[in-house]
Amino acid sequence: MASTTTTYPAGTTFWETPDYKGIEMRNLNICLVVISSVICGLRLYTRLVMTKTGGFDDIMSVAAWAFVVSLAGFDFISVRYGSGGHIDLVPLDSLVKFFSFLATQNLLYFWVVAVVRLSIVAFLPRLNKDKWYLYLVYAVGGVIFVQTVVAFFYKLTECTPIKDVWAPPFQPGLNCVSTAANNGMMIGHSVIGIIVDLTLIILPIAVIYKKMILSRQVIQIILVFTVGIFVVITGVVRLYLIATLNFADDSTYKMSTIGLWTDLESHVGYWVACFPALQPILKMVSYKLGFRSKLTSYGDTTTSNTKATPGTSRSVTRSKHGYVRSSNGVDATDTDSDSQKGIVTTTSADHAIELGKIRKVTETVVRFDQPHAAETEDRRYQESWANV
């Protein structure tokens, strides 16, 4: 058992100390699970009901939700067995269960962050179908999978026999890798994870910047994806704690620190993964609250400009194939009709005044050249963003 010396009176339970963190851990996980569940429900409503654009990334999102909730469940249960309290106040039978749950939780963690990241990877092809972009997306997915498998099996086989992975570290006769080697693996996993998270932020921003002319709307779209920086921040904080904290000393109490940032990393990552998909419902809510004047913010799909003067008209329209059409003219027919001639009648048949004619000549110019490149890219992006 860890060599900590208690300063509390004999008979003090681990949850009675002033610095006990178990309640905070429990409440935090309840809040995180509630928020993640609401976000998951809103995502499914947006994709399946509002936009009817559900896809494989939504299936991955539900799987990611199940994983992050399961990880929080282990934290919630471990509080009962001493997590958040000082290890020298935790009963031996509770400590055995704590370390058993901790071993399973460590193995689960690798797949939690992997599935959350893979749900983002599954979303990225919605933005662009260029081969170079898709190759990069699939390469990132491959790195995530390989990293996870290597870390998982390293952790699973760090003791011989494997069943000793679930044994408490103070059990005599354990044949496991050193604490330094285990920490080195966890640091390596965290560093690669931070690089992957940065890549998942840069990829969508790069394709947006490449495909569209910089404008206020493009900046707004880019900001949607930059919220991923919060995941990087939580990952960096967790990496710092792994590198600096001696978890072997008072493990149950220090779990309240590193466990907190582990939970935040997985849940914040899940929220960021869902954020782009929630844009339609966020627009609708902000519109109803009066924060925006219209539901569409990235331009209309057609362009028109009408200017009317007495007897003339001019308009610019676009055909369904993207050709630019313009017309201008004046009414021009020589036939007498009610729409061209006005008659003021009097009581005398000899007094009829002709007010004049409306002459209309219509000229239509159809331009069969391709639309401007920026217009084409903007229209292409509007389609993909509508499906996000």
Q: Which pLDDT does position 127 carry in this prediction?
A: 87
Q: Which pLDDT does position 117 carry in this prediction?
A: 96
The tokens of 44 are what? Answer: 């499914």
Q: What is the mean pLDDT of the chain?
A: 78
Q: What CATH code would you report for 14-288? A: 1.20.1070
Q: Which pLDDT does position 1 carry in this prediction?
A: 47
pLDDT digits 0-9 by tens, 40-84: 999 999 999 999 999 999 999 999 999 999 999 999 999 999 999
Task: Write down how long the chain is.
Answer: 388
Write the DSSP assignment of 300-363 as a string of letters: -SS----EEETTEEEEEEE-TTS-EEEEEEEE---S--TTTEEEE--SSTT--EEEEE--EEEE
Share of the chain above pLDDT 90, in %: 49
pLDDT at 271 over 90: yes
Question: Greater confidence, 318 or 176?
Answer: 176
Q: Are 205 and 225 in contact (CB under 8 A)?
A: yes
| Angstrom distance (rounded) from CA 174 to CA 275 | 45
CA–CA distances in Å: residue 372 to residues 209, 317, 322, 377, 379? 17, 14, 10, 9, 11
Q: Which residue has the tokens 């009097």?
A: 346
pLDDT digits 0-9 by tens, 344-386: 444 444 444 444 555 555 444 434 344 444 444 444 444 444 4
pLDDT digits 0-9 by tens, 308-349: 444 444 444 443 433 333 444 444 444 444 444 444 444 444
Q: Are 230 and 261 in contact (CB under 8 A)?
A: no
Residue extents of the structural domains in the chain: 14-288, 307-374
pLDDT digits 0-9 by tens, 109-142: 999 999 999 999 999 999 888 899 999 999 999 9
